[in-house]
Chain A
Amino acid sequence: MNFISDHLLTLILFSPTLVALVLMLIPSGNKQALRWTALIGSLIPFGLSLGLWAGFDPGGAKFQFAEQANWYPAIGSSYHVGVDGIALTMVVLTTLLTVISILASFSITEKVKAFMALFLVLETGMLGVFVSLDLLLFFVFWEIGLVPMYFLISQWGGEKRNYASLKFILYTMGGSLGLLLATQMIGVLTGTYDLPRLLELWPAYQVSGNVLFGLPLATVKSIAFWAFVIAFAVKVPVWPFHTWLPDAHTEAPTAGSMILAGVLLKLGAFGFIRLVLPLYPAESQQYAGWLAGLATLAIIFGAFGAFGQNDFKRLVAYSSINHMGFVMLGVAAMAAAPGTADAVIALNGSVLQMFNHGLYSAGMFFLVGVIYERAHTRDLSKFGGLWALLPVYGTILIFVSMASLGLPGLNGFVSEFLVVRGAWPVLQVATALSMIGLFFTGAYTLKGLWTVLHGPLNEHWKGHLTEINAREIIVIAPLMVLIVVIGVWPAWILDIINRAVSMWF
């Protein structure tokens, strides 16, 4: 038992990879065995992360369950992992969504072994980003996550999967180039990659004469700041770095979209919260207006973009840009007024919004997948009045859509309220403008409903569509329960987030 509790994070981090290795030993033809092994295997990190949650002391040390081991001593980089309240919620979100996505992928029939194995490796990559306390380790995991997702899209994707997967990987890698360089620079200048030490060293970094590489130090730092920002902004994605997302989402297999929206986008936002704000407090404040402006544009144009779609999946994909914009608005509020109560409230909202968006966006993509598997089309103009044929599916779709719309009583509202509440005193104009986006959130969400479920029944589908099945209900049920629970009683999770954010800023 001691071994488990001493190495809990490492176990959570690498158990998915181990399960992926086990999958390699199972013959490719035995699809059921592969599926069930993957599912049961994915329950291991999920169970362990629940243990992590139970053992986490919200009022305790900043980083808990920390582990450190030698890795690259020559350049001052080590295997250093640990979680705070923010990372903790993300770890649990990741392990939960992986289980659910694997169950959702039971309908995959081609190359099951490779699919499941890639999925589990992807989980390790994502978890690594959340738990890394070493800048180099962070970057390694950051890039590892890309590879499985690239293959998931390019091998199991839709018609334009090659274009989409290439766009996805090149865009994200291109964005990370600056991050890599800036990371190297920080490591070389300070002699360490260890995050807790960098938090003290880098913001206060001074050089004699204030000139570095022939440039003023402030300029160098600003460039490094923007290198970080662009890498994470591509991932979030913040307007105008978002155009890879609709393509990647639309072409990815259902489970891929679920994870992409549910977790991968959070890596970007997490990068802002974990690295950009603490490492560059001065630059963050200097450029907070820019961040707020981009967040507002993401909220507004994400909503417009979603409203302008005629493909159901693309509509949901654009909604992510709109919803993640609120996360960014909270980040911008913290950048503008670090440490104030308003900013803490806003950032609380951001972190909770990350968790909430993980739940309902995964749910929305899953539900789009359910209808796509049956109808083989996502064209909104081809549906109509399906509620009469699919009463249970329709009700579930309305429920999850309402969470995404931010209906009070469901989870999305709590986080949006917190962000708006926190951002209003700090970024009044941006917050007021973001209301345009909030209004159109309603418009595009209802558009999905009014074209698919409501209106005159498209007789074409009569007798051709089957109701959502038991496995699919099991997939969506945990998400629905969490959506209600957080909407009605958010304190259990927000308390952890609130303490963590208060501790950081």
Chain B
Amino acid sequence: MTTESLIWLLPLPPLAAFLLIVLFTNRSKALSHSLALAGAGTAWLGSMIVFFRAVGQHDLAENPIHISFNWLPMVDEWFKMGVMIDPAGAVTLFFVAWTVLMIFIYSVGYHNFGQPKGDHDRPGLPPHGATVGDKKHAHKVPSVEPMYSRFFALISLFAFAMFLLVVSDNLLLFYIAWEIMGFCSYALIGFWYGKESARNAGVKAFLTTRVGDVFMLLGIVGLYSATGSLNFHEVLGNPDTLAKLAAADSGVLGLSLAGLLGILLFIGTVGKSAQFPLHVWLPDAMEGPTPVSAMIHAAAMVSAGVFLAVRTFPLVSAGRVGEELTSAMMVMAFIGAFTALFASTIALAQNDIKRVLAYSTIAQLGYMIAALGVGAYVAAVFHLVTHAFFKALLFLGSGSVIHGMEHGVLHTGEKIDPQDMYNMGGLKDKMPVTFWTFVAGGLALSGFPLVTAGFWSKDEILTGAFGGHHWWVFGTLAVSALLTAFYTMRQITLTFLGKPRTKSAEHASENKTVMVGPLVVLAVFAVGAGWAGIPEKFPLLGGLIPNWFGEFVGSMLHEEAHHAESIVPLLTSLVVSLGGLYLGYMVYRDVKQGSPDPLARMGFLYKVFKYKYGIDELYHDVFIRPAVWISEVFTYRWIDKGLLDGIIEGIGKVALTLGRLVRNYIDIPLWNEGMTDGVGGGVRRTGDALRPVQSGRVQMYMVLAVLLVLVASVLFLFFAA
């Protein structure tokens, strides 16, 4: 099969799985997950073939593998829909295919396939466990998810959307996939829709990202209007078009047209990749099942946002001279760096194992955005790839921990939150595979030197910021990296090290192979993926393994910045990573059950972090309540019911009053009593007078008839003559 047609087919197996499950197999759990796995597996296989063929092609950046067809008639021409694989697309495809497949496999175990049906489980709520054994030896075990098939249907659709997004060759198809993914995240975050918190989280995710989406839509139509095309290669790969856009004035805030469109599109990324100020949905998104969190935080949703920023990088950087940043890049660098620091501080004070990871995702995405903002394009893509692997690993690992804890909770009957790290401790021995893989992921997130992937990609970002002399970005990111290492070690220490702090933690048990297997695979990538991009100039190690990644993805850029060498960024990343890890361990190594968080000594600041700067509350008061007021009171009650209906009914009342006046002062006195009664009386009198004529005697009628005929004849003759 040609690579072109293979690319078309890539997203289709998961879509087929979605349709088949929804329409036919939703009653059979085994059939449903088989279909979903087959779909993801086929897409994975196709992706690997495409990836290796793409890697083998030398001029891939100039001549991406590409195919398109006519889709929408636009006056005299057609809008072309198509797919494309270029270097950035190829590496994204690689990590998407792997993480998606691992998440699918893991889901089978996570949703307790093969376990009995729950005692009181019902659709819309998470399973509560089933009682097994006879009466004497009854004990509770996890029960299978009641909406098992629906989960696999939706997550297949999610995967379809992500594959479609990666291979799309134009912004419109990209947006289509983007929005379908938005819907899937809404449906899956709110998967347990019977829980109010889950439902609200789903709505929050959909609407918060939609804020970004409507701006993005404007960016898309603006770009289309300005250039007549939305094709990535034709528009964003064309230096002449970019130069024109950079030279044109947009008339808004002194931005160039390229800058304005770049920022509009970037707001889409801000929503999807949960950057400040649209980050609020992502921490709540963990209301969904954990595989969904992994899907959102690693494989698909947020990566899509960064991928958009990667795709539109030529636009935001259009008109750039040397190290000078364009306005749009300044915006990106600022938002990215600020988000990285801001989210890291919040992560310090969270006790929910998934919530810590959620904020770390926001921070890491900030890293990528900041990297793009300072022009470190390759480093951003590199971090996107490594982050996807280690964050998928961490989320699935945390899900494994929670699953193990839930097992303990069911066993002991304790009423505790199985996601609270303060209820854990000592899980290292109970769940060894989960522990070691989690450590691999955690170290990668902290940027543990040399052996983990996260180190290489983070180091490159710091190098990029340093080399471009963007000190404030460099400084912010370095502090954020220190905090990241600190809270990661806090998490590992609280969860796995020390002694169990609850009975449930004592009775936690390792999960089945179907769950921990994917962890091992992802751990391999979390460690190894970094070796594909070791810079040549790196002390000692540089050049031992060719910097394949840098060359491959770097070919996307028409000109790449070359920085003066410096040892400062390397030293910085070593210090912050190792320092953070060490501090985290020292502070949390012997936290007892019930004791307050050691950081609580920071007082007010700790509270600010813990309550997430009060942003949710702020948005509620500043945006949501006014919106409800404008809708219910202003628009409906005041304008529609009061003003507009008031006018209409006022007109009606005036007409009624006029009618009454006419009736009371004209009709009744003049016509009814005067004319009508007069006429009526007259008629009655005439009738009375004529009554004798109607005597009922036939002879009389005959006489009358003859008389009338005679009179008529005379008249006729008289006038005719």
Interface positions of A (Cβ within 8 A of B)? 167, 170-171, 240, 242-244, 246, 301, 304-309, 341-342, 344-345, 348, 385, 387-388, 391, 395, 398, 402, 407-409, 413-414, 417-418, 420-421, 424-425, 431-432, 435, 438-440, 442-443, 446, 450, 453-457, 489-491, 494-495, 498, 502
Distance between Cα atoms of A309 and B632 in the complex (Å):
7
Asked whether A171 lies within 8 Å of B72 as measured between CB atoms, the reply is no
Asked whether B124 lies within 8 Å of A420 as measured between CB atoms, the reply is no
Contacts of A417 in B (CB 8 A): 172, 217, 221
Distance between Cα atoms of A275 and B159 in the complex (Å):
48
Contact for B644 among A240, A395, A413, A495, CB less than 8 A: A240
Contacts of A246 in B (CB 8 A): 640
Shortest beta-carbon distance from B273 to chain A in Å: 19
Asked whether A455 lies within 8 Å of B630 as measured between CB atoms, the reply is no
Asked whether A435 lies within 8 Å of B214 as measured between CB atoms, the reply is yes
* Chain B residue at minimal CB-CB distance from A494: B73
Interface centre among B124, B177, B190, B207, by most chain A C-beta atoms within 10 angstroms, is: B124
Contact for A407 among B179, B630, B637, B639, CB less than 8 A: B179
Interface centre among B76, B179, B180, B634, by most chain A C-beta atoms within 10 angstroms, is: B179
A409-B176 contact, Cβ under 8 Å, with A309-B636, A385-B193: yes
Asked whether A455 lies within 8 Å of B196 as measured between CB atoms, the reply is yes
Distance between Cα atoms of A345 and B75 in the complex (Å):
7
Asked whether B72 lies within 8 Å of A491 as measured between CB atoms, the reply is yes
Cβ-closest 8 pairs across A and B: A308-B631, A408-B176, A308-B632, A454-B193, A304-B635, A307-B631, A308-B636, A435-B214
Interface string of B184-222 (1 = CB under 8 A from A): 001100100111100110110011001100110110011
Distance between Cα atoms of A109 and B224 in the complex (Å):
53
Asked whether A435 lies within 8 Å of B217 as measured between CB atoms, the reply is yes
Asked whether B123 lies within 8 Å of A420 as measured between CB atoms, the reply is no
Give 26 A-B contacts (CB < 8 Å), ordered by A residue.
Answer: A242-B640, A243-B640, A243-B644, A305-B631, A305-B640, A308-B631, A308-B633, A308-B636, A345-B74, A385-B193, A407-B183, A408-B178, A408-B179, A409-B179, A420-B217, A420-B221, A421-B224, A435-B217, A438-B214, A442-B206, A443-B207, A455-B196, A457-B124, A457-B194, A491-B71, A491-B72
Asked whether A456 lies within 8 Å of B636 as measured between CB atoms, the reply is no
Interface string of B48-91 (1 = CB under 8 A from A): 00000000000000000000001111111000000000000000
Shortest beta-carbon distance from A497 to chain B in Å: 9
Shortest beta-carbon distance from A410 to chain B in Å: 10
Distance between Cα atoms of A369 and B708 in the complex (Å):
69
Contacts of B195 in A (CB 8 A): 456
A498-B635 contact, Cβ under 8 Å, with A435-B215, A439-B214: no
Contacts of A450 in B (CB 8 A): 199-200, 203
7 further A-B contacts with Cβ under 8 Å, apart from A420-B218, A454-B193, are A305-B635, A387-B123, A388-B122, A395-B22, A454-B202, A455-B199, A457-B124
Asked whether B627 lies within 8 Å of A307 as measured between CB atoms, the reply is yes
Interface positions, chain B 68-120, Cβ under 8 Å from A, are 70-76
Shortest beta-carbon distance from A75 to chain B in Å: 31
Asked whether A494 lies within 8 Å of B225 as measured between CB atoms, the reply is no
Asked whether B640 lies within 8 Å of A388 as measured between CB atoms, the reply is no
Asked whether A442 lies within 8 Å of B210 as measured between CB atoms, the reply is yes
Asked whether B225 lies within 8 Å of A421 as measured between CB atoms, the reply is yes
Contacts of A431 in B (CB 8 A): 218, 221
Asked whether B214 lies within 8 Å of A443 as measured between CB atoms, the reply is no
Shortest beta-carbon distance from B277 to chain A in Å: 15
Contacts of B633 in A (CB 8 A): 308
Asked whether A454 lies within 8 Å of B640 as measured between CB atoms, the reply is no
Interface positions, chain B 196-254, Cβ under 8 Å from A, are 196, 199-200, 202-203, 206-207, 210-211, 214-215, 217-218, 221-222, 224-225
* Chain B residue at minimal CB-CB distance from A453: B193
Distance between Cα atoms of A224 and B267 in the complex (Å):
45
Decide if B175 is an interface residue (CB 8 Å cutoff): yes
Asked whether A443 lies within 8 Å of B627 as measured between CB atoms, the reply is yes
Distance between Cα atoms of A439 and B207 in the complex (Å):
8
Asked whether B73 lies within 8 Å of A455 as measured between CB atoms, the reply is no
Asked whether A243 lies within 8 Å of B206 as measured between CB atoms, the reply is no
Interface string of B613-657 (1 = CB under 8 A from A): 000000000000001101111111101100011001000100000
Contacts of B206 in A (CB 8 A): 442, 446
Total CB contacts across the A-B interface at under 8 A: 149
A413-B75 contact, Cβ under 8 Å, with A243-B645, A431-B218, A455-B196: no
Distance between Cα atoms of A440 and B245 in the complex (Å):
31
* Chain B residue at minimal CB-CB distance from A240: B644
* Chain A residue at minimal CB-CB distance from B190: A454
* Chain B residue at minimal CB-CB distance from A246: B640
Shortest beta-carbon distance from B515 to chain A in Å: 27
Asked whether A385 lies within 8 Å of B124 as measured between CB atoms, the reply is yes
Contacts of A414 in B (CB 8 A): 72
Asked whether B123 lies within 8 Å of A456 as measured between CB atoms, the reply is no
Asked whether A439 lies within 8 Å of B211 as measured between CB atoms, the reply is yes
Interface positions, chain B 658-692, Cβ under 8 Å from A, are none
Interface centre among A167, A407, A421, by most chain B C-beta atoms within 10 angstroms, is: A421
Contacts of B210 in A (CB 8 A): 439, 442
Asked whether B221 lies within 8 Å of A424 as measured between CB atoms, the reply is yes
Asked whether B123 lies within 8 Å of A388 as measured between CB atoms, the reply is yes
Contacts of A308 in B (CB 8 A): 628, 630-633, 635-637
Contacts of B217 in A (CB 8 A): 417, 420, 435, 438
Distance between Cα atoms of A35 and B124 in the complex (Å):
39
Contact for B73 among A421, A435, A491, CB less than 8 A: A491
Contact for B222 among A409, A424, A438, A443, CB less than 8 A: A424
Asked whether A413 lies within 8 Å of B179 as measured between CB atoms, the reply is yes
Distance between Cα atoms of A420 and B217 in the complex (Å):
9
Contact for A387 among B73, B175, B193, B634, CB less than 8 A: B193
A454-B224 contact, Cβ under 8 Å, with A417-B172, A502-B75: no
* Chain B residue at minimal CB-CB distance from A434: B214
Shortest beta-carbon distance from A285 to chain B in Å: 20
Asked whether B645 lies within 8 Å of A385 as measured between CB atoms, the reply is no
Contacts of A457 in B (CB 8 A): 122, 124, 194
A424-B218 contact, Cβ under 8 Å, with A240-B644, A308-B635: yes
Contacts of B221 in A (CB 8 A): 417, 420-421, 424, 431
Asked whether B648 lies within 8 Å of A456 as measured between CB atoms, the reply is no
A495-B73 contact, Cβ under 8 Å, with A387-B123, A438-B217: yes
Contact for B635 among A301, A342, A443, CB less than 8 A: A301
Contacts of A438 in B (CB 8 A): 214, 217
Interface positions, chain B 11-48, Cβ under 8 Å from A, are 22
Contacts of A489 in B (CB 8 A): 71
Asked whether A456 lies within 8 Å of B194 as measured between CB atoms, the reply is yes
Asked whether B636 lies within 8 Å of A454 as measured between CB atoms, the reply is no
Interface positions, chain B 116-161, Cβ under 8 Å from A, are 122-124
Contacts of B645 in A (CB 8 A): 243
Contacts of B628 in A (CB 8 A): 307-308
Interface centre among A414, A418, A443, by most chain B C-beta atoms within 10 angstroms, is: A443
Distance between Cα atoms of A417 and B178 in the complex (Å):
15
